[in-house]
Amino acid sequence: DAGVTQSPTHLIKTRGQQVTLRCSPKSGHDTVSWYQQALGQGPQFIFQYYEEEERQRGNFPDRFSGHQFPNYSSELNVNALLLGDSALYLCASSLLAGAFTDTQYFGPGTRLTVL
C-alpha cells in the first residue's frame, strides 16, 4: 500500500522565480492538505483540496496556489519566491475530510531553498 509521495525531494530556486511541488495521496484517500514547515518550527497549514476545489486556506498570501486533479493528486504553486519561502513543504492526505475518523498522513516533504 503506497503511502503519500512527494516530488521533487529537494529544489533550489532564486528570488522571484516560480515553483511547482507535487503530491500523490495515500491509496484510497481523496483529500490533500499542504503545510509549510520553516526550520525549527512546527508545520503551518496552507490550504486543503477536496473534489478538485480549495476548501479551506490558512494565513498565506495569494502567491501560494494549488490544484487537485481527478486522480486526487495535487500541486502546490508558489509565485514570486521570497527568501522566507525557504522551508520543508509537506503534503498530507486523508479520507472523507470532515469525518470523525479524519486522520492526516504525511509525505516525506519537499525541501525548497530560495537563494
CA distance 41 to 37: 6
Of the residues 33, 36, 68, 93, which one makes contact with other proteins according to CB under 8 A: 33
Binding of other proteins at residue 60 (CB under 8 A)?
no
Q: Is 79 exposed, middle or buried (0-12, 13-18, 19+ CB in 10 A)?
A: middle
Q: Which stretch binds other proteins (CB under 8 A): 13-21, 48-56, 62-70, 78-86?
A: 48-56
Number of residues in contact with other proteins under rule CB under 8 A: 30
Which one, 42 or 70, has the nearer CB to other proteins? 42
Q: How many CB atoms lie within 10 A of CB 115?
A: 10
| CA count, 13 A, side-chain hemisphere, 38 | 6
Binding of other proteins at residue 48 (CB under 8 A)?
yes
Q: How many residues does the chain have?
A: 115
Give residues in contact with other proteins (CB under 8 A).
4, 6, 31, 33, 35, 40-45, 48, 50, 55-56, 58, 90, 92, 97-98, 100-109
